[in-house]
Copies of this chain bind each other. A is one copy, B any other.
Amino acid sequence: MPLDSSIPSHLRCPRTRTRRVSDSWNPPVPMYSARGEESVQNLVMAYLGVQSKGDEMKGRACAAFQNILQSFKQPDGPGRHDLVQFVDAEGYLNLIAVAYWIDPTTYDKWNESPAISHWWASEDRLKEGVGYFREVLRPRMEQFETIFTHEHGPLEGVSILLGGMSEPIIEHGYWGSMRDRLPLSQTDTLDPSGTLTLKEGTPALGGRVIVGGHQNVALIRSGEDWSLTEGEERRTWFEDIEPVLHEGMNYLRDDGLESGCYCNRYLHHMDENGNLLEKGFGYSLWRSITNLEQWAESHHTHLQIFVTFNRLAKKFKNLTLYHEVSVFDAANQYYEYINCHPKTGLLRAV
């Protein structure tokens, strides 16, 4: 059977830029992309976080986080959310609800409703001893791509809302395939322009800080689910792969700016009670997809991950991998930090 394109048929258009590989490209293993309805034109990805330090603040952090989860039950709330957490390099616990909408009008109604907008705008948020942040990103479908290792494996993230899966795709198994999966790459170089700007506040002083994005900031959510692994495969994940992945994530977290990575979080899924699940993902924001490509293709911290994955790929049966990548128009990014430490999210990069 001929290979499918990762680009959905309704988003294919006359190219002004060629795909890197020719039509005869034959990927070594099959991979898949999530597929949505043609009616879906924009996505909303809201990373809503609570930040705290020390065991004595954990109760307050959890209460704050529960408020965010409750807010999802308001009318027009997200179609889907994931709960994740991580401890950052400064030792802060960050609890994050990742909420997805496949209709920005619904998101806008939710976000602009008094229950939501007043809560986030309230001065009370500045007095609770915890930090809050919102990173809200709205790619057009032309600016969004996914890849999954398993045809019938679990969809993840916003792809669960999209609901479908492609046939095996041609655009994978070579550097540059991530870009080639983005429909907009058919006609656009996806070059960045502008810079991050401080719209309000001063990171070093805490309080409320709003950061403005720039054209073609890129986001990757790159995840793995090891919950179904057993025996040798499970041992391989814990002993051979995860440590190398962890090291790459730490590089991006600590020194990513030199590679054009604005921030990186290596996140662990949890349930509503805070129990860790056996899956996770790296979340990172980049100056451009070119910077992301360059790190992935040439930096030893990623090549180490790549070689390790490749070497062991034959052993994988139940370990499932996926990623979702987006680029954003400048106007489709909103970054707000409330009483967060100055290395949080984009604060370290602005």
Contact = CB atoms under 8 A, between A and B. Distances in A.
Interface stretch (A220-228, A249-257, A293-301): A293-301
A176 B307 contact: no
A290 B21 contact: yes
B18 A175 contact: no
Nearest to A311: B300
A191 interface: yes
Interface string A1-29: 00000000000000011101110110000
A191 B18 CA distance: 15
B300 A307 contact: yes
A191 B22 contact: yes
B21 A18 contact: no
A303 B294 contact: no
* Copy total for this chain: 2
B303 A174 contact: no
A197 interface: no
B22 A189 contact: yes
A248 to B, nearest CB: 13
A188 to B, nearest CB: 9
A253 to B, nearest CB: 21
B18 A297 contact: no
Interface string A270-311: 000000000000000000001001100110100110110011
Nearest to A15: B18
Contacts of A24: 189, 191
Nearest to A24: B191
Contact of A310 (B176, B298, B306): B298
A305 to B, nearest CB: 11
B290 A300 contact: no
Contacts of A16: 18
B310 A300 contact: yes
Contacts of A20: 20, 176
A174 B300 contact: no
A120 B174 CA distance: 44
A16 B19 CA distance: 11
A17 B17 CA distance: 7
Nearest to A297: B175
Interface in A166-217: 173-176, 189, 191
Nearest to A294: B174
A320 B290 CA distance: 28
A314 to B, nearest CB: 14
Return the 6 tightest CB-CB contacts between A and B, nearest first: A22-B189, A175-B175, A17-B18, A300-B307, A18-B18, A24-B191
9 contacts: A25-B290, A173-B298, A174-B297, A174-B298, A175-B176, A175-B297, A298-B306, A303-B303, A303-B306
Interface of A: 16-18, 20-22, 24-25, 173-176, 189, 191, 290, 293-294, 297-298, 300, 303-304, 306-307, 310-311
Given A174-B298, A300-B311, A303-B306, 20 more contacts: A16-B18, A17-B18, A18-B18, A22-B189, A22-B191, A24-B189, A173-B298, A174-B293, A174-B294, A174-B297, A175-B175, A175-B176, A176-B176, A298-B306, A298-B310, A300-B307, A300-B310, A303-B303, A303-B307, A304-B307
